[in-house]
């Protein structure tokens, strides 16, 4: 099991990917009520926060949380540009651009 967790996909280990995904999930839930989610504004705030965080918090924690915010912010911007254009995929759920985003 330890070998699997230390395996790399690109420059990240599986552990890194799990930590980033966890941090993204938590930050997305915490911030959605404050700045929204899936909007250009929420994406810009998260990208700015990631840049500020990484410049102030060094080491693994800064890298993990900064990457999570960067990915979440980029996802918000892409979602806002799609504007709900992708609908009817699978069971009919699509991308919604309100604070209660359901992505596929």
Is residue 90 over pLDDT 50? no
Query: 63 lies in a domain?
Result: yes
50 in a domain, yes or no? yes
The answer as to whether 95 is a domain residue is no
Residue 32 lies in a domain: yes
Residue 89 maps to a domain: no
Residue 1: per-residue pLDDT: 63
Task: Provide CB contacts within 8 A for 102, sequence distance 6+.
Answer: 93, 94, 95, 96
Instruction: Determine the structural domain holding residue 28 and report its residue range.
Output: 2-82
Residue 96, in any domain of the structure: no
Compute the average pLDDT of residues 64-73: 95
Nearest to 13 by CA among 62, 64, 48: 64
Residue with tokens 């839930």: 29
Range name among 11-25, 63-77, 79-93 with the lowest pLDDT average: 79-93
| Domain count along the chain | 1
CB atoms closer than 10 angstroms to residue 101? 18
């Amino acid at each position: 099991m330890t070998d699997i967790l230390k395996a790399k996909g690109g420059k990240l280990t599986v552990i890194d990917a799990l930590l980033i995904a966890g941090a993204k999930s938590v930050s997305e839930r915490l911030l959605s009520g404050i700045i929204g989610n899936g909007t250009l504004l929420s994406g810009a705030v998260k990208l700015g926060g990631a840049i500020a965080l990484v410049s102030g918090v060094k080491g693994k924690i800064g890298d993990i949380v900064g990457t999570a915010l960067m990915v979440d912010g980029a996802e918000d911007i892409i979602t806002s540009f799609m504007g709900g254009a992708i609908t009817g995929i699978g069971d009919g759920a699509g991308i919604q651009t309100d604070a209660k985003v359901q992505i596929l």
